[in-house]
Amino acid sequence: MNDMSLPKHQIFRTRQEVRRRRLTVSAVEQITPRMRRIHFASPDLQDFASPGIGDHIKLFLPAPEGERCMRDYTPRSYDTAAGTLAIDFALHDAGPATAWAMAAQPGDTMEIGGPRGSTIVPDDFDWYLLVGDETALPAIGRQVESLRPGVPVTTIVAVNDASDHLVFTTRADWRPIWATRTGGLEDDADLLRTAVAALGPLPPGDGYIWIAAEARAARTVRTYVWETLGHPKAWMKAAGYWTMGLPDAHEPISD
């Protein structure tokens, strides 16, 4: 329920104490050919909180050389009372996170940290537009599933083919658009910008736009939405969830 004492469309950040938690894999699901959902259980999760749909937790992964490496992932769902957490892994590269997810079995363990902070977007906008690639689907799914009944939300997601499509259970008026690649991931910037442009003018009223994809693609879409469509900067957020050719490169985009 929205707090009517707050100004309309007030977006704010919260901070949390960073705590390291040790989790045990309880189940593994292959939800699409390129998306694997890992379910975890742990008593350490009974005070876990992730109020922002774009929150990130730090995964501490074993590296091939025996050293540890860290990657940022969005919690897909969690239940503090049950002490459970689910994380979706987009299997789009051959890095340590993909390797770990592909080999994960019940009983395996992992440590996580965070989330350090959350961006809270009120559910009082007239419409929502969510744009991204496979790495953004966990956050997009959380947003679509949490919106109030009847509010219009359009999602545009770059995927390889129809086998990557997901269905979310929602009370919102959800319109999914799947932008299918014809080439490699390097085409996502033009692919997503073209898909946004094909929507035509933005809907009337106040809208919130969220963008997360490869860094160049996210920046391209944000620039188009701001400069060409004239959407207010205050009512959008963009992030490079990864950068072509660079490991563990999560990049907030503000200009």
37-54 per-position pLDDT tens digit: 999 999 999 999 999 999
CATH second-level architecture of 123-253?
A: 3-Layer(aba) Sandwich (3.40)
pTM comes to 0.92
| pLDDT, tens digit (0-9, with 9 covering 90-100), for 148-189 | 999 999 999 999 999 999 999 999 999 999 999 987 655 899
H-only helix segments in 79-187: 96-103, 137-146
The pLDDT of residue 247 is above 60: no
Q: In this prediction, what percent of the chain has a pLDDT beyond 70?
A: 89
pLDDT of 106 above 80 = yes
- Report pLDDT digits (tens) over 205-214: 999 999 999 9
Indicate the burial class of 12 (C-beta count within 10 angstroms; 0-12, 13-18, 19 or more).
exposed
- What integer pLDDT is reported at residue 1 of this predicted model? 41
* Domain-wise residue ranges, the chain: 14-117, 123-253
Architecture of the domain delimited by 14-117: Beta Barrel (2.40)
Percent share of the chain, pLDDT over 90: 80
The reported pLDDT for the residue numbered 62 is 79
